[in-house]
Amino acid sequence: MGATTTTTEKIEFSDFAEKLEEVMTSTTEVVQQLPIDNEVKTTILISVEDNIKKLLSKLASKEEIGWGVDTNPEDFKHLPNSITGVIVHYIIKGIKEDFGFEFEKQPKCLTYNISKFDKKVAGKKRLLTREQKNELLAKTQMSYYDDKISSGEMTIESAMYAIKDAYERVQAFKNIGYILPPEKTKYPYFVDELE
């Protein structure tokens, strides 16, 4: 009979945790697709504690959590914009993690970070009124701040930052094809509206 030898290698805990993570993440995830019809809707009623609803609302609104919890609302930007969307997001995530099931299409309630501004841009809707356009353009000029600087309400330095901010906003509009004509009587427009 041959002798069998076993060698034991001593591994530090930090290395073990890293090796374990490699094994856990290297396994192939098997997901079973479930059917979903985005046109057929129903309602479920859930009764929860008030603070659960408040937390869900803050996550959906991308607000500070409060209650002495140190959070950054930027950490929530991947979440849907409604309480229902946040609930469904976590239900779907839990079902996938526990059972390996996911729906073949994303549910409609999972609307992620489509702001009113983004919707307006997508629909080529008016983003600024003529008055708002004229005020923004005026804010790119030092003369707009003369009275505030003279009265001491604003420093020259803060006026320069305000000019820079206004200029960057004008440029951001131009970058999406939204033109702010300098003539006071003209309305802002999308480039393709001329065609």
Q: Is residue 50 part of a domain?
A: yes
- Whether 159 is in a domain gets the answer yes
Residue 108 makes CB contacts below 8 A (sequence gap 6+) with 38
In three-state secondary structure terms, 144 is helix
Q: Are 88 and 59 within 8 A, CB to CB?
A: no
Task: Report if pTM > 0.85.
Answer: no
92 and 130 share one domain:
no
Residue 18 lies in a domain: no
Confirm whether 16 is domain-assigned: no
Q: Which two tokens stand for residue 8?
A: 């034991």
Find how far residue 58's CA is from the centre of its chain. 13
Do 99 and 47 fall into the same domain? yes
pLDDT at 119: 55
Residue 75 belongs to domain spanning: 29-103
Question: Is the domain of 96 the same as that of 41?
Answer: yes
Q: Give the helix ranges, DSSP H, for the chain.
A: 13-26, 50-61, 83-99, 116-122, 130-138, 146-150, 156-175
Mean pLDDT by 10 residues, the chain (195 residues): 53 62 55 79 77 85 81 78 82 85 77 55 71 92 92 89 88 85 90 61
**Domain-embedded: residue 164:** yes
